Chains A and B, each alone.
Chain A
Amino acid sequence: AQSVTQLGSHVSVSEGALVLLRCNYSSSVPPYLFWYVQYPNQGLQLLLKYTTGATLVKGINGFEAEFKKSETSFHLTKPSAHMSDAAEYFCAVSDVSGATNKLIFGTGTLLAVQP
């Protein structure tokens, strides 16, 4: 069965510092992987996704993630944090157990950006 682990429920960085949010997955088949962002009192919005092909994926707002099969990881990075990046971030993996297009979500990482 697929699963997702996000290390660190809370991460705090200074404005301008590197953002690194960790995601490890478990999947018996090549997965599709996603990062979603949730701003306060809003729904989830897709940041980026990996399906096939290039393992370094660029998303919106300067974020990127690299699919590393050997490490079963899909960490999210941004070179320089901005105050507007403060939000909760969710990693998700495709559930391939049936033709349902379901996603399995991690428990989320709340990113705080200090001035």
Chain B
Amino acid sequence: NAGVTQTPKFRILKIGQSMTLQCAQDMNHNYMYWYRQDPGMGLKLIYYSVGAGITDKGEVPNGYNVSRSTTEDFPLRLELAAPSQTSVYFCASAGGSYEQYFGPGTRLTVT
């Protein structure tokens, strides 16, 4: 099993550009999550999904969008990138037991 995979590992965006962060899991988990991590701030939940076709906002959804067309994939879309979106982004998935499995992260810089 590859677990949770994320692409790209690194990305530099200019202000106003858009991009999609990819996330995939091969554990047949229903639950998937997107977090951002900023120094000293812990993890902030951006969006989550409880199954294919179902998504909902987390704590910090502004400036982001998600979709969940399959159980495996949960891409995160950034529209009109802003410097405040410079962060490390983590995708995670979970089965029925609250235990979350994390991807390796995407380091995004917006300049």
Q: Which residues of A contact B (CB under 8 A)?
A: 9, 32, 34, 36, 41-46, 49, 51, 90, 94, 99-103, 105-108
Contact = CB atoms under 8 A, between A and B. Distances in A.
> Sorted from nearest, which 10 A-B pairs have the closest CB atoms?
A43-B102, A107-B42, A44-B102, A101-B31, A94-B98, A105-B43, A101-B94, A43-B104, A32-B98, A105-B42
Would you call the interface of chain B mostly helix, strand, loop, or mixed?
strand
Interface string B34-56: 00000011110100101000001
A90 B92 CA distance: 15
A59 to B, nearest CB: 12
Contact of A101 (B42, B56, B96): B96
Interface in B22-78: 31, 33, 40-43, 45, 48, 50, 56
B21 to A, nearest CB: 14
Contact of A51 (B31, B40, B97): B97
Contacts of B92: 44
Interface of B: 4, 31, 33, 40-43, 45, 48, 50, 56, 90, 92, 94, 96-105
Nearest to B50: A100
A103 B33 CA distance: 10
A96 B81 CA distance: 33
Contacts of B42: 90, 105-108
Contact of B50 (A45, A51, A99, A105): A99
A44 B42 CA distance: 11
Nearest to A91: B42
Contacts of B94: 101
A45 B98 contact: no
A60 to B, nearest CB: 13
B31 A100 contact: yes
A32 B95 CA distance: 14
B91 to A, nearest CB: 9
A34 to B, nearest CB: 7
A32 B98 CA distance: 8
Q: Output the residue of B31, B43, B103, B105 with the most chain A CB within 10 A.
A: B43
Nearest to A32: B98
